[in-house]
Amino acid sequence: MNLDLFYRQAVLSVAGNPKVEALIKTRARSLVRRYVAGETLEEALLVAERLEAQGVHAILDLLGEMVRSEEEARAFQKGILELIRAVAGRPWPKYVSLKLTQLGLDLSEALALDLLREILREAEPKGVFVRIDMEDSPRVEATLRIYKALREEGFNGVGVVLQSYLFRTEKDFWELLPYRPNLRLVKGAYREPKEVAFQDKRLIDAEFLHLGKLALKEGLYVAFATHDPRLIAEVKRYTGAMGIPKDRFEFQLLYGVRPEEQRRLAQEGYTVRAYVPYGTHWYPYLSRRIAERPENLFLVLRSLLGG
């Protein structure tokens, strides 16, 4: 197994221990503030305003996933609707991200579809774009079904995500193509078994570029979500060589990760968005960030040791 993937899977396994979760929640708050805008909508909007002043647009996400009751799902829907109403009057591009397990996907696919439909009915007239995040492999099929159902109902201000580390993704791409999706392309951040996902970073990276170029050739709008300077450079080289204008794609990076690169890309005339998460349910998100970057593990250890 590739060392990077071994590290990621090991961290995600340890992070799932309730004792580890409790320890990090009490001792690693400084690291949380590096990657999470805050626990309130007001804090997230302040971060978004600062980013806009730097030429970087915000993707706002009320953190939450894998709810266990309909009441909890509806509470998250209420929070997302509050977010949509709060950004509706802002002068900058309005962009919201959400997870279907946050809206009760694990309880009922129909429930998640209904709650998301209500969100889109509020978002589209206000010019708020909604991105459905992709979660782990057992939930991919249902997520794609819901996206297709909403597009067939006439909703256009909604996008989908594909993960390059899954074997199934190119097949999913061709099945999505008739819907002309606004596509966000990621490598994938979940712990996946070798039966369903590439385990070699080089193959994941190669598939990321393959899928991205394929989508551009098919005329789709593509959001390249990566911090890898080699992948960013290749996207820039390829689009320049093919004469693909900068309004046909964008780069998306995480809040707190390579902020200088975000500003530099924006200054070069590319559309750049920073994923800005907020809320009290930040632990699963932070766990995936620690798993992606070994240096983050050292920051956690330093926090736990009181340094």
Catalytic residues: 133, 184
Tokens of 182: 């606004």
Q: Do the beta carbons of residue 192 and residue 167 sit within 8 Å?
A: no
What distance in Å separates the CA atoms of residue 240 and residue 260, rounded to the nearest whole number? 22
Q: Do the beta carbons of residue 61 and residue 84 sit within 8 Å?
A: no
What is residue 17's DSSP assignment?
S
- Give the dihedral of Cα atoms 275, 285, 102, 95; nearest 10 deg: 0
What distance in Å separates the CA atoms of residue 233 and residue 158, rounded to the nearest whole number? 28
Alpha-helical regions (H) of the chain: 3-15, 18-27, 29-35, 41-53, 70-87, 109-123, 140-152, 169-176, 201-217, 229-242, 259-267, 283-292, 294-304
**CA-based nearest residue to 288, from 96, 3, 1, 16:** 16
